[in-house]
């Protein structure tokens, strides 16, 4: 859970989310990441440090450059947590659909004259 807390804390900043979105397209150097922002290189580097500490990105040394990329190990727990929420929502909606279907018995719909059924559809 601590990993998720750090990840969501890092994701709370729009600049860091934009950096992750850029890194989703491929590896980039700090200077490449600075280009679209009205920020200095040190400011972007601080954002990168937060993302790295949260485990969302990794950096490697390539001479004087430090290219960054997404860290699969940091993104997977977020994806798993969101998948759990999606499943819970789907179950809730399935239960709601079932309750609504039970509230409107099929017999009452069948016995209703065709012209009344059509009017109801037209008023929706």
Q: Are residues 59 and 40 in the same domain?
A: yes
Q: How many residues does the chain have?
A: 124
Q: Tell me the CA distances in angstroms from 100 to 86, 94, 119, one per residue in order.
A: 21, 10, 21
pLDDT value of residue 113: 60
Q: Are residues 15 and 43 in the same domain?
A: yes
Q: Are residues 110 and 68 in the same domain?
A: no
Number of structural domains the chain divides into: 2
Q: Are residues 61 and 90 in the same domain?
A: no
Q: Are residues 53 and 96 in the same domain?
A: no
CATH of residue 27's domain is 1.10.10.10
Q: Are residues 47 and 97 in the same domain?
A: no
Residue partners of 37: CB distance under 8 A and separation at least 6 = 15, 18, 43, 44
Q: Tens digit of pLDDT for each residue in 104-119?
A: 866 555 566 655 555 4
Q: Are residues 67 and 87 in the same domain?
A: no
Q: Are residues 88 and 59 in the same domain?
A: no
pTM for the model: 0.71
Q: How far apart are CA 75 and CA 57, in angstroms?
A: 9
Q: Are residues 9 and 50 in the same domain?
A: yes
Range of the domain at 27: 2-73
What would the mean pLDDT of 52-73 be, rounded to a whole number? 93
Q: Tens digit of pLDDT for each residue in 69-94?
A: 999 999 999 999 999 999 999 998 88
């Amino acid at each position: 859970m601590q990993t998720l807390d750090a990840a969501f804390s890092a994701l709370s900043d729009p600049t860091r989310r934009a950096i992750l979105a850029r890194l989703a397209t491929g590896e980039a150097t700090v200077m490449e990441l600075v280009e679209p922002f009205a920020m200095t290189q040190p400011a972007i580097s601080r954002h990168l440090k937060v993302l790295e500490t949260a485990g969302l990105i990794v950096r490697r040394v390539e001479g004087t450059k430090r290219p960054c990329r997404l860290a699969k190990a940091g993104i997977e727990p977020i994806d798993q947590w969101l998948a759990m929420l999606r499943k819970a929502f789907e179950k809730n909606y399935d239960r709601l659909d079932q309750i609504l279907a039970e509230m409107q018995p099929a017999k009452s719909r069948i016995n209703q004259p065709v012209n009344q059924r059509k009017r109801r559809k037209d008023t929706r």
